[in-house]
Structures are given as structure tokens and as C-alpha cells.
């Protein structure tokens, strides 16, 4: 009797296709990380030249390392890199209106400069500025990421505060109380919310939620663009995700646990909260964290309803720009390719990537820690 495994051509083709799909997804992820990392490093290494509103007040011959400059304009300090036309210079010392410089910095050619030539000053974004400041305004060379991160987390917290209790309540109802016929009707209707374009949610937040908040708290308290209305509507958007994933986790709990609880005299409500929910906690936690990642990455709602401007504020009723909202606003404008503003978009994107990656890693640990295995 021949017990040798026979090769099935169709099964081999399917197996090969699945393997290639997995490899392709890995390479796509690596490509995204590489592109974000490359452009982000350009953001931190690129030198941007800005006008200092200072002029030289004498002619400068090649080889001359000290000269006088006008008094008005931006402050120049020791160690600053400046540029006169195409020649770069490093400031060694500043004495009143006189500069002592190193000529031909960074291998630029020393040339003659006439009186009245404008001085440009080099600016470069550092990790200390990026992670240590709270003012994000690329137009004037300020790149403190925490203004954008703060507003992003604020809208996400509002979304979680809305979606988690409502979504979990819906999941418990569908899993423990609703009849199979009612569940088959209600669940698809609920999931229709996930198919509505997010731009519609954005205008819903602007034209309904914001006026409602202004009616409750007052026009002087709630601005037209604010993070509260955007966060609440994002919460409505992710309710189907929380409820659907949580309901699947709760429905997977064996009925034997419910029957054992009923046999001990527990009510349906006690069984749902004290037996079923703890048993399916790993799935509920995963739903919660995945929905949080979705809230952090939401774009159109915050772009329409949260407002613009990098205001570092904890007041949810004021306008503040999120990370995704800023990317949409800047990339949709007149942004020159390969500029500092352009590269800043990739630095923000990389920050978002690490935030969602951290949430996903945390989700995996939660699932492994609280996963229950039943026979």
C-alpha cells in the first residue's frame, strides 16, 4: 500500500499564493517604514535658510574674517551658520555690530560681497526641539510636535469615552439579550455606520455636534472649530468596530459557563458582567485598542471640525490641529517638494506610525495575558 503523500496541484498553487501574499505584505511594510524614515531623517538634517533682516555695512574681500553689520534684525550668536549669497560662514565671535567669522564654511567658495548684501541665517530642526517644545509653526521655523500630539490624544480620548461604553453595551445586548433573529437584523444595520464616508461625519460634527455643544455650554465657551465635537463624532464612527469585535469575543464564550452561572442562581445581568465579560476580556481589550488606533489615525473629521493652528491647549472647546489634520492641510496647499515643510509631513507620519505600533504591541500582550482557552 502506497502511503506516500500525493502532491495536489491546486493546493500547492493556493499555498504558494498565500505565502507570496504574506511576503508581499512584509515588504510593503518595510517599504513604508524605509520611506518614512528616509524623509524624516532629511527633516532633521536639512538646513533651511531664513532672512535675518540684517545687512553688511562694508565691502568684504575674500579672506576678510571680520566685518560690520547693521544693528536691526534678528540676533546673531556665536556658532551660527550664516550665508552671504552663495558663500557660507560660521560665526566665531560677536562684538556689538561686528562679526568675526570663518569664511567658506562647508566647502563654499570665498567671494567678494558688496555693501548692503543681506545676511541669511541657517536653521536646523533638532530632536531636542522636536520632542521638547509645544509650538508647531513651520512658516516661522517652529517644530515642537507636542502641540499636534496633544490635540490628537484629546480627540482620541473623547472618541474612546463615547465609543467604548456604548459599543460594549451594544455588544453585551447582542450577545446576551437579543434573539438570533433580532441580532441578524440589528448588527448589519449598526455596521452600516462604518460605511458612511468620513467627510460626511466631518460635516455632521461641524453642522450638528458643534451647534449642540454651543447650545449647551454657550457660544462664548465653545468655538466653532473645537476638538470636543470632532472627538465625539469620531467616537460615533468607531462604535461599530467596538461593538462588532466585542460581540464576536463575547459570543465565543462557551454556553457551559453561562449555564453554570445560571445553575448557581446568577441572573442574566450578573452572568453577563461577572462571567461572560471576564471570559471574553482579551477580545474586548483587542477591540478597544484597535478602535483607539483607528481614532488616532482619523483624518477628515478632524480636518473639517477640529480647526487649524497649533494651539497647545487642554481646553476641548477650542480649535486645535491634530497630526492627521495638519498633514491634510499642509499637503493640500502650495507646498514645494523636498522642502523642510514637505519633510516635516513624514516626521509626523513616522510619529503616528510609532504611536499605533505601540498600541498594537500593547494589544497583543493584553490578548496573550488574558486569553482563555476552553475545551
* DSSP letter string, 348-370: HHHHHHHHHHHHHHHHHHHHHHH
Q: pLDDT-based confidence at 20, cuts 50/70/90?
A: very high
Over residues 218-235, the mean pLDDT reads 92
Please tell me the predicted confidence (pLDDT) of residue 100.
93
Whether 252 maps to a domain, the answer reads yes
Residues 283-303: tens digit of each pLDDT? 888 888 889 988 998 889 998
What is the Rg, in whole angstroms, of the alpha carbon atoms belonging to the chain? Answer: 29
- The C-alpha cell at 305 is 471640525
Whether 331 contacts 226, CB under 8 Å: no
Q: Which of 236, 240, 175 is nearest to 204 (CA)?
A: 236
In a domain, 225, yes or no: yes
User: What mean pLDDT comes out for the span 358-374?
Assistant: 73
DSSP state of 97: T
Residue 299 lies in a domain: yes
Residue 172 falls inside a structural domain? yes
Over 70: is that where the pLDDT of 68 sits? yes
pLDDT of residue 360: 82
User: Is-contact 296 352, C-beta < 8 A?
Assistant: yes
Q: Specify whether 245 is located in the same domain as 167.
A: yes
Boundary residue ending a domain (124, 152, 184) = 124
Closest CA to 344 of 46, 110, 15: 46
pTM: 0.81
**Residue 219 shares a structural domain with residue 317:** yes
Model confidence at 311: pLDDT above 90: no
Q: Which residue has the cell 483607539?
A: 292
Are residues 119 and 164 both part of a single domain? Answer: no
pLDDT at 11: 81
Q: What is the CATH number of the domain that holds 220?
A: 1.10.3720.10
Q: Domain range for residue 246?
A: 140-370
Q: Are residues 64 and 119 in the same domain?
A: yes
pLDDT in tens, 153-168: 999 999 999 999 999 9
Q: Does some domain include residue 236?
A: yes
63 and 158 housed in the same domain: no
The C-alpha atoms of residue 312 and residue 119 are separated, in whole angstroms, by: 33
Same domain, 95 and 154: no
Domain boundary among 65, 91, 124: 124
**% of the chain exceeding 90 in pLDDT:** 34
Asked if residue 183 and residue 150 are part of one domain, the reply reads: yes
Mean pLDDT, range 329-350, rounded to an integer: 78
Q: Is residue 16 part of a domain?
A: no
Per-residue confidence band for 2, with pLDDT thresholds at 50, 70 and 90: low
pLDDT at 345: 87
Using an 8 Å Cβ cutoff, are 115 and 152 in contact?
no
Counting the structural domains of the chain, the total is 2
270 and 361 in a single domain? The answer is yes
Q: Are residues 321 and 362 in the same domain?
A: yes
Q: Looking at the structure, do residues 118 and 144 belong to the same domain, yes or no?
A: no
Domain boundary among 96, 124, 152: 124
Cell of 134: 509645544
Q: Give strand pairing partners of 143.
A: 136
Q: Same domain for 99 and 163?
A: no
Residue 25 domain-assigned (yes or no): no
Handedness of CA 247, 253, 254, 258 (dihedral sign): negative
Cα–Cα distance for residue pair 280/275, rounded to 1 Å: 9
Q: Is residue 43 part of a domain?
A: no
Task: Let me know whether 160 and 276 are in one domain.
Answer: yes
Asked if residues 234 and 156 have their Cβ atoms less than 8 Å apart, the reply is: yes
Q: Is 356 within 8 Å of 324 (Cβ atoms)?
A: no
Average pLDDT, the chain: 86
Instruction: Compute the distance between CA of residue 190 and CA of residue 24 in angstroms, rounded to an integer.
Output: 33
Beta bridge partners of 152: none
Amino acid at each position: 500500500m502506497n502511503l506516500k503523500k500525493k502532491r495536489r496541484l491546486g493546493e500547492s498553487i493556493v499555498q504558494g499564493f498565500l505565502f507570496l501574499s504574506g511576503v508581499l505584505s512584509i515588504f510593503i511594510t518595510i517599504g513604508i517604514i524605509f520611506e518614512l524614515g528616509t524623509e524624516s531623517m532629511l527633516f532633521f538634517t536639512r538646513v533651511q535658510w531664513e532672512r535675518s533682516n540684517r545687512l553688511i555695512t562694508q565691502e568684504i574681500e575674500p579672506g576678510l574674517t571680520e566685518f560690520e553689520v547693521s544693528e536691526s534684525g534678528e540676533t546673531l550668536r556665536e556658532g551660527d551658520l550664516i550665508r552671504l549669497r552663495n558663500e557660507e560662514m560660521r560665526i566665531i565671535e560677536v562684538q556689538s555690530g561686528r562679526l568675526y567669522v570663518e569664511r567658506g564654511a562647508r566647502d563654499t567658495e570665498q567671494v567678494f560681497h558688496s555693501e548692503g548684501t543681506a545676511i541669511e541665517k541657517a536653521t536646523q530642526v533638532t530632536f531636542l526641539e522636536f520632542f521638547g517644545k509645544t509650538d508647531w509653526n513651520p512658516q516661522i521655523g517652529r517644530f515642537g510636535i507636542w502641540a499636534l500630539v496633544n490635540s490628537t490624544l484629546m480627540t482620541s480620548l473623547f472618541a474612546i469615552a463615547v465609543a467604548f461604553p456604548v459599543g460594549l453595551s451594544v455588544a453585551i445586548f447582542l450577545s446576551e439579550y437579543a434573539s438570533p433573529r433580532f441580532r441578524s437584523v440589528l448588527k448589519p444595520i449598526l455596521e452600516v455606520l462604518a460605511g458612511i464616508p468620513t467627510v460626511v461625519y466631518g460635516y455632521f460634527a461641524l453642522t450638528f455636534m458643534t451647534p449642540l455643544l454651543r447650545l449647551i455650554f454657550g457660544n462664548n465657551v465653545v468655538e466653532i472649530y473645537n476638538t470636543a465635537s470632532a472627538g465625539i463624532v469620531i467616537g460615533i464612527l468607531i462604535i461599530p468596530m467596538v461593538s462588532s469585535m466585542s460581540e464576536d469575543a463575547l459570543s465565543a464564550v462557551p454556553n457551559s459557563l453561562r449555564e453554570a452561572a445560571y445553575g448557581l442562581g446568577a441572573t442574566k445581568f450578573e452572568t453577563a458582567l461577572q462571567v461572560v465579560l471576564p471570559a471574553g476580556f482579551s477580545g474586548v481589550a483587542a477591540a478597544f485598542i484597535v478602535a483607539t488606533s483607528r481614532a488616532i489615525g482619523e483624518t477628515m473629521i478632524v480636518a473639517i471640525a477640529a480647526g487649524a493652528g497649533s494651539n497647545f491647549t487642554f481646553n476641548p472647546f477650542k480649535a486645535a490641529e491634530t497630526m492627521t489634520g495638519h498633514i491634510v492641510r499642509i499637503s493640500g496647499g502650495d507646498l514645494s517638494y523636498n522642502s523642510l515643510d514637505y519633510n516635516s509631513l513624514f516626521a509626523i507620519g513616522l510619529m503616528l506610525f510609532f504611536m499605533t505600533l505601540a498600541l498594537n504591541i500593547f494589544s497583543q500582550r493584553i490578548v496573550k495575558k488574558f486569553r482563555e482557552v476552553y475545551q
